[in-house]
Amino acid sequence: MFKLPKNLFRPLRPVFRPTRLYSSVPLTAETYKDKVSINDKFKKLNDSDIEFFKGILKDESGLITGDDCLGYNEDWMRKYRGQSQLVLKPRTTEQVSMILKYCNANNLPVVPQGGNTGLVGGSNPIFDEIIISVANLNNIRSFDPVSGIFKCDAGVILETADNYLADNGYIFPLDLGAKGSCHVGGVVATNAGGLRLLRYGSLHGTVLGLEAVLPDGTIYNSMNSLRKDNTGFDLKQLFIGSEGSIGIITGVSILCPIRSSSVNVALLGVSSYEMVQKVFIESKKELGEILSAFEFMDLNSQKLVGQYLKLDHPLEDEYPFYVLIETSGSNKDHDDEKLETFLANQMEAELVNDGIIAQDESQLRNLWSWRESIPEASTMNGGVYKYDVSLPLDDLYSLVEASSERLRGEGLVDFEDGSKPVVEAIGYGHLGDGNLHLNVCVREYSKSVESVLEPFIYQWIQEHKGSISAEHGLGFQKKNYVGYTKNDIEIKLMKEIKHHYDPHGIMNPYKYITA
């Protein structure tokens, strides 16, 4: 195991957290008292427990108590707030093991936490669960420049990992807007999808091995795994996307691709969702092997970003939809020509009304910012209800229209004047992966708006044969709605696995699965 070289400490760009518009975020246990109640079987934390943890961690900075826990109790959207009085920040896998063993033996519930950028309230406690942050497990362990296999501690920030790989000519096979804050372990625990899944595939394919601590302190280790290994059950898969429900991931081994030397980005204006789908088909045909992202955004999402960034949109006229296409290849002239020809063909066929191609790195970043800033812009008016959905492509955008219609029918929406609780329902996402992000931007969180949206949206998704979570997971938000996507047998099997690994139910209780 070796330490991160000093020159890698480039300044990171932590993802902007919405500013606090209320004196404090309301307690989840209060807001959702109809949905959750404290489980009395858990033991209350006391001074002797804290003394025990001090003995394990040795260094004082690894233990945070009382009001200093606030930043760990609140989520990124400022929608959920837990009441934990203790955050533990172990520095080694052995410390994680000793902590969990003690908690398991003493019935003390815990919430694993990475960069705390999750969007379903999974990374925060509800009551007084102990938060175990892996932020201090942050060493890069090894990189093999021949195979591209990268191994690191779970608490390495995604952008740090990617910068390290960039210096070695490789790229982390996942990228997302929270990269300056989220952890490698956190994205694996969530099975995050991100902006380039279309090209590099899911973490279920790229993660080769994991190190994880089970609730009884057992350290599971498959970090030596190879690209091919067919020796029975692939146990690591259970941890990918488990959202802290069966153990704490402490190390990740992942297969990384070569970083493309030529990257192009184009932003296109399109007249309808039907045209967006046609452009997608054409982009697969014409750009084929170099296509690395195909994102779409609706007009309202772009208006919000314009307000948020205080900038004019790169395309002069307004269009109902926008498409961002990224290509990544190895031959600049070839890729430039391909993309330019593609764009000219789409305009000639009248599938695309207008479009621009970034001419340099700063333009490329600028075009991406009109997509990547949407999550931040969505919170700027006070709050946002987020729905992260997989749907058959032809129905993908209809959910935004159906939700918008329902909200308008209830008289809840106005974009401009501020007299109604809802600003707008916006739609965007990873069209190439069949993944829509429906964001209902509100002036403040309120039960009256939430009850109009839920379970309506989940029912709609079920009727249209989609999934209520494409990539953000279930966490606390969707704990009562798993049945809209998983059938009874699937839920039973999931519960059995949960019970097998975590018989006392101490891991991330009150969330989507209980023992």
In the complex, the residues that contact ligand 2HG under the rule CB under 6 A are: 119, 177, 374-375, 378, 386, 388, 437, 439
Is 97 strand, coil or helix? helix
- The amino acid occupying position 318 is E
Residue 328 binds which entry of ligand 2HG, ligand FAD, none, CB below 5-8 Å type-dependent: none
Rounded to 10 degrees, the C-alpha dihedral 78/84/86/88 comes to -60
If the CB atoms of residues 121 and 177 are measured against ligand 2HG, the closer one turns out to be: 177
Cβ of residue 304: shortest distance to ligand FAD, in angstroms? Answer: 14
**Residue 170 per-residue DSSP state:** B
Residue 61: HSE in the Cβ half-sphere, 13 Å Cα cutoff: 3
Cβ of residue 213: shortest distance to ligand FAD, in angstroms? Answer: 9
If the CB atoms of residues 189 and 431 are measured against ligand FAD, the closer one turns out to be: 189
Binding mask 251-280 vs ligand FAD (x if CB under 6 A, - otherwise)?
Answer: ------------------------------
Residue 383 binds which entry of ligand 2HG, ligand FAD, none, CB below 5-8 Å type-dependent: none
Query: Whose CB is nearest to ligand 2HG?
Result: 375
Q: Using alpha carbons, list the distances in angstroms from residue 407 to 145, 261, 264, 294, 404.
A: 53, 46, 38, 29, 5
How is 328-353 classified by DSSP, letter by letter? EES-HHHHHHHHHHHHHHHHHTTS-S
Distance between CA atoms of residues 436 and 402, nearest Å? 14
Cβ of residue 477: shortest distance to ligand FAD, in angstroms? Answer: 11
Residue 437 binds which entry of ligand FAD, ligand 2HG, none, CB below 5-8 Å type-dependent: ligand 2HG
Which residues have CB under 8 Å from 351's CB, separation 6+? 270, 275, 278, 279, 282
Question: And the tokens for 284?
Answer: 């697969």
Scan residues 159-178 and list those touching ligand FAD (CB under 6 A): 176-178
Asked if residues 200 and 173 have their Cβ atoms less than 8 Å apart, the reply is yes
Asked if residues 137 and 406 have their Cβ atoms less than 8 Å apart, the reply is no
Quick check: bond before 455 cis, omega within 30? yes
Query: Whose CB is nearest to ligand FAD?
Result: 186
**Contacting residue, 31, 117, 136, 378, with ligand FAD by CB under 6 A:** 117
Helices (H), 389-515: 398-409, 447-453, 456-463, 488-501
If the CB atoms of residues 163 and 378 are measured against ligand 2HG, the closer one turns out to be: 378
If the CB atoms of residues 82 and 194 are measured against ligand 2HG, the closer one turns out to be: 194
**Contacting residue, 73, 84, 95, 123, with ligand FAD by CB under 6 A:** 123
Residue 399 binds which entry of ligand FAD, ligand 2HG, none, CB below 5-8 Å type-dependent: none
Cβ of residue 72: shortest distance to ligand FAD, in angstroms? Answer: 9
Cβ of residue 489: shortest distance to ligand 2HG, in angstroms? Answer: 29
If the CB atoms of residues 181 and 346 are measured against ligand 2HG, the closer one turns out to be: 181
If the CB atoms of residues 82 and 193 are measured against ligand FAD, the closer one turns out to be: 193
Asked if residues 85 and 128 have their Cβ atoms less than 8 Å apart, the reply is yes
Cβ of residue 428: shortest distance to ligand 2HG, in angstroms? Answer: 7
Question: And the tokens for 267?
Answer: 């932003």
**Residue 260 per-residue DSSP state:** P
Asked if residues 321 and 272 have their Cβ atoms less than 8 Å apart, the reply is yes
Question: And the tokens for 199?
Answer: 């090209």
Closest CA to 7 of 133, 145, 140: 140
Closest CA to 474 of 260, 261, 243: 243
Number of residues lying near ligand FAD (CB under 6 A): 38
Residue 439 binds which entry of ligand FAD, ligand 2HG, none, CB below 5-8 Å type-dependent: ligand 2HG
If the CB atoms of residues 223 and 436 are measured against ligand 2HG, the closer one turns out to be: 436
Distance between CA atoms of residues 373 and 105, nearest Å? 44
Q: What is the sign of the dihedral through the CA atoms of 379, 381, 383 and 388?
A: negative
Residue 210 binds which entry of ligand FAD, ligand 2HG, none, CB below 5-8 Å type-dependent: none
**Contacting residue, 45, 111, 265, 305, with ligand FAD by CB under 6 A:** 111
Asked if residues 43 and 52 have their Cβ atoms less than 8 Å apart, the reply is no
Binding mask 186-225 vs ligand FAD (x if CB under 6 A, - otherwise)?
Answer: xx-xx-xxxx------------------------------
Helices (H), 373-441: 374-378, 398-409
Binding mask 447-486 vs ligand FAD (x if CB under 6 A, - otherwise)?
Answer: ------------------------xx--x-----------
Closest CA to 221 of 204, 239, 206, 203: 239
Scan residues 15-34 and list those touching ligand FAD (CB under 6 A): 15
- Residues forming contacts to ligand FAD in the complex (CB under 6 A) are 15, 76, 111-119, 122-123, 134, 154, 176-178, 182-183, 185-187, 189-190, 192-195, 243-244, 248-249, 375, 471-472, 475, 508
